[in-house]
Amino acid sequence: MSVSPSRALPWALIAAACLGSFAATSSGTTRAPFLLQMSHDLDVTMPLVANLVSLTAMAWGVTSALGGWMSDVIGRRPILLAAPCALALALVAQAAAGSFFWVAVWATVGGGCAGAFTGVVFAEVSARVPDSQRGRALGWVMSGQSLTLVVGIPMAAAVGALIGWRGWLLCVAVLSIAAVLSLFLTLGRGSAGHMRGGGARRPSMRSALSPQVLGLLGTGVAERICYGLAVVYFATFMQVTYHMTLLELAIPLAVFALGNVAGTLLGGQLADRLRDRLLTFAVAMALSGIAALLLFTWHPGPVVSVAVGFVYVLLNALGRPSFMASLASVPENVRGTVLGLNGTSASVGWIGAAALGAVMIGSVGFEGFGPLTALLALLGALGALISRRSRAA
């Protein structure tokens, strides 16, 4: 008699990984409701504060690739414990910073710590489950990132209205320490990759970067730009379009974020039930492009905009587990390297989202977000179909 897939999943590890992912993503993403507040406090322009995302993403990308490679050399446990601990210290330093320069410095350090963690934790969970369950397992881990939108950003808006953006950073630091403790307990004395540091052959970048992997990494850049444009600027879009206060944003942001969680969890189920994962991802991306066009070009009222935003982010998240499960289908000895490089490509997407969003706001306003996101979504869908054909060949 077969074992139920849900019972076979390592739920304790998944919960710890989910918490760690939540803390890592919250360290940067929950800055979104505070763009205006931080610009006034630090006496700089709002686009400059928004471009902290670029600094964070650059550090995230560099350390994600390095951390993924190191995890294939020395094992994953040291990185999974050290990175969130260092992130907590960086958040405390950022909260205490007195100028934009030092906020930027510590935000960059924090992004590096988060990047080193994220790819490695995906590799660890992927190694603990068979391919037939990988979509669901990774979907649950990604829900930690999605919960940043459901819980993190709305809570940041509500709590930040009381204790400010600096106080909120201290709250995220506490979450990072909680992630360290939970991972310490669930990983035990070693991770799935802890034995490779002794005498195993070191991973080769050449063997890791197959043509299909390179194609998927490029596709991931387009997908992350689409996601980042909405996540970074949705709160500001609602403030500018409907003149909403920080406290009034809490409910719209929560509804927006619920779409991301629902899409991630449903996408994990689809990834394990539909054989063609890359086709699933391509269809989801194409549909999300249509929703993005409506979101940023048609805004008759806040209720309608929030509803369309819910649909957009649900469709975007729907294909992500299929994408990640496809990317994780590589040999074990290079899985950390490949998923670390996925973090690097995602960082390129975040940098592109911040930069393109700032350019759009400064030139044509939020009206330009719709056509831009729709175009990038279609390019992402096309890239997935090309990678699908190369795999079939």
What does the alpha-carbon distance between residue 354 and residue 94 come to, in Å, rounded to a whole number? 20
Highest mean pLDDT among 45-49, 226-230, 346-350, 387-391: 226-230
pLDDT band per the 50, 70, 90 thresholds, residue 235 = confident
With cut-offs at 50, 70 and 90, classify the pLDDT of residue 48.
confident
pLDDT tens-digit series, residues 57-106: 788 888 988 888 888 888 889 999 999 999 999 999 999 988 899 999 99
The Cα 140–Cα 165 span in angstroms is 28
**Residue 88: its pLDDT value, please?**
95
Token pair belonging to 103: 């906020």
Spatial CA neighbour of 157 closest among 217, 93, 216, 234:
234
Q: Determine the Cα–Cα distance for residues 24 and 67; give it in Å rounded to an integer.
A: 14
Angle in degrees, 0-180, between the axes of helices 250-273 and 211-242, rounded to the nearest 10: 160
**What is the Cα–Cα distance from 240 to 129, expressed in whole angstroms?**
45
How far the first Cα of the chain sits from its last, in Å, is 36
Q: How far apart are CA 127 and CA 144, in angstroms?
A: 19
Confidence class of residue 191 from pLDDT cuts 50, 70 and 90? Answer: low
Can you give the residue ranges of every domain in the chain?
A: 10-392
Tell me which of 105 and 5 has the higher pLDDT: 105
Could you tell me which of 166, 146, 168, 167 has the C-alpha nearest to residue 156? 168
CATH architecture of 10-392: Up-down Bundle (1.20)
What pTM, to 2 d.p., does this model score? 0.78
Sign of the alpha-carbon dihedral angle for 382, 387, 388, 390: positive
Amino acid at 39: S
Q: Which of 242-246, 262-266, 366-370, 386-390 has the least mean pLDDT? A: 386-390
pLDDT > 60? residue 7: no
Q: What is the pLDDT of residues 122-169, one digit of tens each?
A: 989 988 888 888 888 888 888 887 777 677 777 887 888 888 889 999
pLDDT of residue 4: 40
pLDDT tens for each residue of 325-372 = 988 887 777 888 888 888 888 888 877 887 898 889 888 989 899 999
Q: Which two tokens stand for residue 226?
A: 């689409």
Tokens describing residue 7? 């019972």
Kindly report the average pLDDT of the chain as a whole number.
85
> Does the pLDDT value for residue 188 go beyond 80?
no
179 pLDDT more than 90: yes
Decide if pLDDT at 209 tops 80. no
Q: How far apart are CA 52 and CA 46, in angstroms?
A: 10
224 token code pair: 């992350």
Residue type, 343: G
Average pLDDT over residues 185-207: 59
When pLDDT is cut at 50, 70 and 90, the band that residue 2 belongs to is very low
**What are 236-239's contacts with CB under 8 Å, separation 24+?**
236/32, 236/35, 236/36, 236/46, 236/50, 237/296, 237/366, 237/369, 238/302, 238/305, 238/306, 239/36
Residue 195: pLDDT over 60: no
Q: Is the pLDDT of residue 190 over 60?
A: no
pLDDT at 98: 84
302: left (phi over 0), alpha (psi -120 to 50) or beta: alpha
